[in-house]
Chain A
Amino acid sequence: MNNKHVSCGIVALFIVVLVQSTLWVQGNRTQVQNEASAAQQAETDANAQLNQERGQLSELRRQSTDLIEFLRIWQPYFTTIDNPQSAEVNLSMRIKEANLVNLAQRFEQTPVKGNASIPSTLRAYLTFEDDYARLMNWLGDLEVKMPTVRTSSARLSKGTRANDLRIEVILEQPLLKQ
């Protein structure tokens, strides 16, 4: 091997280096192009998911219009009394204002099954003996003015006097979840 062969070898080596560097650049370009394609696919998928999510949301909005309107109307009635103390005070005040003969009253907080939004109620166990008309008017007025209160039990029997009525009622004041 003479110096001409050595020179040829060096030049050939340069050629190989050039080819390799060109291939390296091409490889990088292909890799980034693949990443760009993947990013484009991801964007397409994300757009499809967004469209699906928006579709579901608008459909849910359409289906629940009446319910949401119902909630808008009724929620203020439930939020005015949201703790046992205020419920007890409110009921006691209404009984006192009516000036009824109250034989017994007891309050207790009880859990509600199967209603996550109303986890508990304040139960009022009340016994009255008074004029029939006054008692009926009081109960009717209470049920109208406090529409969230549920009369869960009522027991009526004759009172000691002719027009008197004895009534044992259990009233439930719902306590909305905070």
Chain B
Amino acid sequence: MQITEHQIDDFKSDRKDIAPPLPAVLRLVPLVFYCSIAVAVILSSIFAIQFQLAVQKRENHKTATASVAVQTQDAKNQRTALEAQIKKATDIQNWVASSRPLQPLILAITRSMGPRSSIVDLRLDREADNPSQIKMNLSMGTDSTKQLDLTVEKIAELNYRAFSPTQTLGRGQLDYKATLVHQDPFSHQNEEAHR
């Protein structure tokens, strides 16, 4: 059976409920969407590359810092060890400086005695707090102070300087007390050389 064109048109219903077109501004939304996709991809790629570079830079700096910290600690350990060595050397030097042999001093005193003089008693004691200082107590059998002058001269020849000397003469015995301090003759020369 053949249907006429007029009859077909009759099947189509009227589309009365079609939505009204969007305002002109809202028609920009899809455009903005496409642009934002493009911009987001570009910017995100740039940021991601910068992110990776920054991560690499941060890790490099951290590694370098750790290496420097190890070197610094090594230098600190070396300095601590050196300071300990210096302390030890200073302590030993102090001990050696205050342990100068007494035998040459005793010999100088005994050999300074003249034919009419003799040593009754000689005592040399290092001070407990300052062992480089020697307390000397000398009792001589003599009747003149010339012998003492000679003895003091011999002591001075060994570069000992007498501090707070006291002497008592009576009944053919002379008592002499002094604190002896050794002085390095080269130290004066060095000081003069520095001047």
- A-side residues, CB < 8 A to B, are 2-5, 8, 11-12, 14-15, 18-19, 21-22, 25-26, 28-29, 32-33, 35-36, 39-40, 42-43, 46-47, 49-50, 53-54, 56-57, 60-61, 64, 67-68, 70-71, 74-75, 78, 113, 115-118, 132, 136, 139-140, 143-144, 147-158, 172, 174
Contact = CB atoms under 8 A, between A and B. Distances in A.
A5 B20 CA distance: 10
Interface centre among A8, A12, A149 (most CB of B within 10 A): A8
B48 to A, nearest CB: 6
B86 A64 contact: yes
A43 B91 contact: no
**B contact residues, range:** 35 or more
A67 B86 CA distance: 7
A42 B89 CA distance: 37
B106 A154 contact: yes
Interface string B85-122: 11111111111101101111011001000000011111
A153 B61 contact: no
Contact of A71 (B32, B88, B106): B88
Contacts of A78: 92
A57 B78 CA distance: 8
Nearest to B33: A11
Interface in B116-151: 118-126, 129, 131
Contacts of B126: 150-153
A40 B91 contact: no
- How would you classify the secondary structure of chain B's contact residues: helix, strand, loop or mixed? helix
Given A22-B43, A136-B106, A140-B103, 5 more contacts: A29-B48, A46-B69, A50-B68, A117-B91, A150-B126
Contacts of A22: 39-40, 43-44, 47
B102 A29 contact: no
Nearest to A53: B75
A136 B107 contact: yes
A29 B47 contact: yes
Given A136-B103, A150-B99, A68 B51 contact: no
Interface of B: 19-22, 26, 29-30, 32-33, 36-37, 39-40, 43-44, 47-48, 50-51, 54-55, 57-58, 61-62, 64-65, 68-69, 71-72, 75-76, 78-79, 82-83, 85-96, 98-99, 101-104, 106-107, 110, 118-126, 129, 131
Contacts of A150: 95, 98-99, 126, 131
Contacts of A46: 65, 68-69, 72
Given A11-B29, A40-B61, A117 B92 contact: yes
Contacts of A71: 85, 88-89, 92
A143 B121 contact: no
21 contacts: A3-B19, A18-B36, A25-B48, A43-B61, A46-B65, A46-B69, A47-B68, A57-B79, A67-B89, A67-B90, A68-B85, A113-B129, A117-B92, A118-B91, A118-B92, A140-B101, A148-B99, A152-B131, A153-B123, A154-B122, A156-B106
